Amino acid sequence: MQLNIFIRSPFFLKAILLGLLGGGINLVPLYFLSMTEFLFGQAFALYALIFYGRRYALLTSAIAASFLWIKWGHAWPSIAFLLEIFWLAHFCLQRKHPLLGWGIVYWCLIGLPILAVIGFFIMQLPQLALMTALVKYLLNALVCLAVVDIIGFYSKQYFSSGETQLPLIKLLRYSVSLLVGLASLIITLILINYNHQNVENYVHAQLNEKANDIAIAVDQYLNEHGKIIAAQADAVSVGLKLDSALNIISERYPAFITTLATDEKGNVVAATPTDLLDKLRDGHVSVADRDYFLQSKQNTETYISPTFEGRGFGNDPIVAVAHGIFKDTEFKGIIEGSLNLEAFSAFRPQLFDHNVELLILDGAQKVVFSSKNLTYQVLEKLTPQQITAFINTETTPAFIDKAQNSYFSGIKKSSHYQWHVVLLLDRSHIDVLAAKSWLKAMSILMLVTLLVFIFIARLSRWLVAPIELLTQKMQDFKPENNAKQSTLIERSWFEVDTLHQQFIELANSLNVNFQALAASNQKNEELNNKLSEFNHELAIEVERKTFELTQSVHIAEQANKAKSIFLANMSHEIRTPMNGMMGMLSIVLKQPSLNPDVVDKLQLIQSSAQTLMQILNDILDFSKIEAGQLTIEQAPVDLKAVFKESCDIFLMSSIKPNVEFRLEGIENLPDQLLCDALRLRQIIVNLLTNAGKFTPCGHIKVLVSYDEEYLRFSVADTGIGIAKEKQALLFNEFSQADVSTTRKYGGTGLGLAICSRLVTLLEGNIELQSEEGKGSCFTVSLPMKAPEELKEHDEPLNKSLDFTGHSILLVEDNPINQLVAQTMLRAFGFDVSVAENGQVALDMQVQHQFKIILMDCQMPIMDGYTATQTIRLEPDVYGKPIIIALTANAFMEDKAACYGAGMNDFISKPIDEQYLMKVLTKWSVQD
């Protein structure tokens, strides 16, 4: 009978409808952080509890909770939701109390402990996931209880019955506090989730960015080790001993576990370390079956192998770097180095103070390096599906490994060697970070809610107090009492105050005026006090800012000094190997028996090396200009010769075949003008090089004039031109009109920037007129005056001398540089003696009394500066030889140091053979 009544009630269908709506809401993925979701469907059950009663609320809750089977495959939380209905029905519905207070008590004492037991013992959730879920359920309950309280606040179920009336102060305090608290809670949840999403997006972006950086670094790492192998193979092909080549590789690149050299049949003839050499000699090991031997024999390029298991010096996995030894195109063997895979651990980055796991795969998808926390083994080959699993998407935001560990991942493939770099960050690190974030947010929310509640209580009291006071005054009023009634109500609000304002206006007007005057005086005094405090604080702030500025200047000076040291070291370290490479190229190109195809390739390498040196010189010049270290020297200069020499250099190196070149106006120039010839020539060559680079056909024209103590010249071309919107960027460092320009035409983007800075230093200006597709015209104006006395022209050295039979001492510690310099000097006819350091040079000078010494500056045991100073201090012992610096230190201060030590001349590396001959001829003629 009761069941029939229950079903026939109009509330029955409404309860079912609410249950279906609640179940649908439960299916909506309203995430809390990234581990769980909200279940706001319980709010519909609480609504049914208020308006339809306990039985229908249980029906609604059961239907809404049943949808969790669809979502999760279980409905364990429904136990806590159903018990909540019983609790609230007893403590709130029967006693006419709001739901929120008793609901919080239920969840703290009963609901959360039940869910904790289910999560720990039945679901077996990790501790962090369980704590996050419990917090989610508490927040879910708070939102549902607050929303239903607001909806049903003014219904007959709240605060009203036949015996009870609703107090105004309670209405204000509870309703406003509830609204503000709910709004704060919802905003906090939104911000927490938004922040967590941003953190995840940031992690994904950082992992991908760092993976890309490491992929580039891996390419550079392999390329650098490939270059040293290739360089030593080339050096062996021109006479360097195998043992020396292998020792150079081992000393400079310790990442090679072993290095070896073979003959043309693949038999090992030399190796490092010596333990490996002894073992190989005992076993007569051949590597003819190895891929790196076969590839190096068939290809002149450096070969970098996939990961494989080594043999000979242990069986550790290695990556082989090999290059063939060819003499006149005839294969003579290979040089191979085995890379230590553990060296890749240096690429492992950090994120949020946690180490990121690193996995590196070679081009064959074999594991090259794996962090210890990962389950992959070196040499293990990954399938395409396994590699694809590292890519995070919206459907798979994290990578799950074999041990069910969850990681954020980033994967990139290197552009050159096609190696994969995978970065994995344990997701628990981010979850802990997120948990700390929302704990702080919830603590702040609780504090704010408490403050809001206190404020609302005070506000409610302030609003109600005037009404209560007015009621009390009305009750105390007695008509028979003739005493004057005070109608002033302190802190009243407008509606109450308007009932009494007519009684108090006249009586209080004078008091109001005096009170206003006192308030004004007090305010002035407060303003004066604040002004004094502000002046004091301002003085302190000025003193602090002055100190900070002084510190900043000191730091900037230290940084500039460090930069100068770095540039000097960089110049020396780059020029030293470049000297060997360019010198050996020059020597090889003079061989008459070279194959034309080989000559073309060697000339291409030589051109690339010269381009690299130009880039290095541009960078160093620009750095000097920025640091204010570039000095301008004013001396009488033959401008006709400067322009003609600059144009000749351009015609020999940079102009394209289909381009016509014209130089006009130099015949009208004065014989000599005061200027810095080096910087003027640098401006002319840079502008001509720029025009030649971007002018495939047509003409290039240089027009020169001198008028009113100004030299003006223009470089006009019919090249590709420059768009107007991009012309302003052209004189910025490392800039070109477009990124595609760099890819198509090359260059660093420093040439025009250097021109602009040099023109400024020479107190002139540079202008550009250009139209896209039609060409460009750069115009330079420089102030130049005629010298008071004309400088006599030096008689040119029309021909080089024959130095046959002359002896010369070469002081050089680098074997490759020794070979390059000896070859050049012997080609001049010199009888060359070599000293590997300054001390040996002194001993040899005592014995042979060389007239000319080529002196390197940086050497072990004794450097070139000390050796030169010693010779100059004891001419009776060492004679008075001509000492010419031959060094990779190319800065002006380095040149000044050489002259200060007593050297006669200065030649920077890489050695220019013609300039070397010019310097030697000059000093031989003087001698």
358 or 283, which is more confident: 358
CA distance linking residue 40 with residue 67, whole number of Å: 12
The CATH class that applies to domain 807-925 reads alpha beta
Nearest to 439 by CA among 178, 42, 128, 183: 128
Lowest mean pLDDT among 67-76, 609-618, 818-827: 609-618
pLDDT for 72: 82
Where helices occur in 89-167 by DSSP H, the ranges are 99-106, 112-117, 127-151
733 or 212, which is more confident: 212
- For residue 381, the 8-state DSSP code is B
Residue 869 carries which side chain, given as an amino acid letter? Q
Residue 150 has pLDDT above 80, yes or no: yes
Residue 815 has pLDDT above 60, yes or no: yes
Q: Model confidence at 795, in pLDDT bands (50, 70, 90)?
A: very low
Give the tens place of pLDDT for each residue, 627-639: 565 677 788 988 8
Q: Model confidence at 504, in pLDDT bands (50, 70, 90)?
A: very low
Residue 733 has pLDDT above 60, yes or no: no
pLDDT for 162: 44
pLDDT for 861: 92
CA distance linking residue 576 with residue 820, whole number of Å: 11
pLDDT average, residue stretch 219-248: 92
Residue 509 has pLDDT above 70, yes or no: no
CA distance linking residue 862 with residue 667, whole number of Å: 53
Q: Which residue has the tokens 């102030």?
A: 783
Q: Model confidence at 36, in pLDDT bands (50, 70, 90)?
A: low
651's CB contacts (< 8 A; 6+ apart) are 661
CA distance linking residue 756 with residue 737, whole number of Å: 16
146 or 1, which is more confident: 146
Lowest mean pLDDT among 160-164, 302-306, 762-766: 160-164
Residue 257 has pLDDT above 50, yes or no: yes
Residue 796 has pLDDT above 50, yes or no: no
Give the tens place of pLDDT for each residue, 443-472: 887 788 788 778 777 777 777 777 676 666
Residue 498 has pLDDT above 80, yes or no: no
Same fold, 1-164 and 631-783: no
What's the residue count for the chain? 927
Average pLDDT, the chain: 80
φ, ψ dihedrals at 15, nearest 5°: -65, -40
Nearest to 435 by CA among 121, 34, 30: 34
Beta carbons of 416 and 223 less than 8 angstroms apart: yes
137's CB contacts (< 8 A; 6+ apart) are 39, 77, 80, 107, 111, 112, 115
834's CB contacts (< 8 A; 6+ apart) are 809, 810, 811, 812, 818, 822
Residue 159 has pLDDT above 70, yes or no: no
User: pLDDT > 90: what percent of the chain?
Assistant: 28
Beta bridge partners of 778: 715, 768
Give the tens place of pLDDT for each residue, 309-364: 876 555 678 899 999 999 888 999 999 999 988 888 888 898 878 889 999 999 88
pLDDT average, residue stretch 19-37: 76
pLDDT average, residue stretch 599-603: 67
- In the three-class reduction of DSSP (H, G, I as helix; E, B as strand; rest coil), residue 417 is classed as coil
Residue 293 has pLDDT above 70, yes or no: yes
Strand ranges, E, within 384-447 = 399-400, 406-413, 420-426
CA distances from 551 to 453, 545, 560, 561, 565 (A): 49, 10, 14, 15, 21
pLDDT average, residue stretch 732-753: 54
Q: Strands 905-908 and 420-426, how do they pair?
A: unpaired
pLDDT average, residue stretch 626-655: 78
CA distance linking residue 597 with residue 589, whole number of Å: 12
φ, ψ dihedrals at 307, nearest 5°: -70, 135
72 or 168, which is more confident: 72
692 or 510, which is more confident: 692
CA distance linking residue 59 with residue 13, whole number of Å: 10
- Tally of CB atoms within 10 A around 639: 21
pLDDT average, residue stretch 527-556: 79
φ, ψ dihedrals at 285, nearest 5°: -75, 135
* CA within 13 Å, CB half, 177: 23
pLDDT for 571: 58
Lowest mean pLDDT among 187-196, 502-511, 637-646: 502-511
Residue 763 has pLDDT above 80, yes or no: yes
- For residue 42, the 8-state DSSP code is H
837's CB contacts (< 8 A; 6+ apart) are 811, 813, 859, 860, 861, 862
Q: What is the residue-wise DSSP string for 476-538?
A: H--TT--SPPP---TT--HHHHTTTHHHHHHHHHHHHHHHHHHHHHHHHHHHHHHHHHHHHHH
Nearest to 60 by CA among 4, 144, 116, 120: 144
Q: Where are the domains of the chain?
A: 1-164, 631-783, 807-925
- Tally of CB atoms within 10 A around 480: 4
Q: Which residue has the tokens 């030169």?
A: 868
CA distance linking residue 483 with residue 424, whole number of Å: 87
pLDDT average, residue stretch 523-528: 81
Residue 739 has pLDDT above 60, yes or no: no
CA distance linking residue 344 with residue 348, whole number of Å: 8
CA distances from 123 to 66, 80, 116, 139 (A): 18, 15, 10, 21
Global pTM reads 0.45
Q: Model confidence at 737, in pLDDT bands (50, 70, 90)?
A: very low
Highest mean pLDDT pick, 162-176, 288-302, 725-739: 288-302
Residue 811 has pLDDT above 80, yes or no: yes
Segment (H or E) for 701: strand 698-707
CA distances from 475 to 478, 479, 686 (A): 8, 11, 102
pLDDT average, residue stretch 753-781: 88
Nearest to 238 by CA among 612, 594, 578, 572: 594
Lowest mean pLDDT among 164-173, 357-366, 902-911: 164-173
98's CB contacts (< 8 A; 6+ apart) are 92, 149, 153, 158, 174
pLDDT for 655: 80
CA distance linking residue 256 with residue 228, whole number of Å: 11
Q: Model confidence at 244, in pLDDT bands (50, 70, 90)?
A: very high
Q: Model confidence at 646, in pLDDT bands (50, 70, 90)?
A: confident
Look up the CATH number of domain 1-164: 1.10.1760
646 or 872, which is more confident: 872
pLDDT for 423: 93
Give the tens place of pLDDT for each residue, 415-431: 988 999 999 998 778 77
Beta carbons of 271 and 258 less than 8 angstroms apart: yes
pLDDT for 201: 85
Fold of domain 631-783: Heat Shock Protein 90 (3.30.565)
3-state secondary structure 321-366: EEEEEEECCEEEEEEEEEEEHHHHHHHCCEECCEECEEEEECCCCE
Residue 369 has pLDDT above 80, yes or no: yes
CA distance linking residue 785 with residue 463, whole number of Å: 90
* CA within 13 Å, CB half, 484: 5
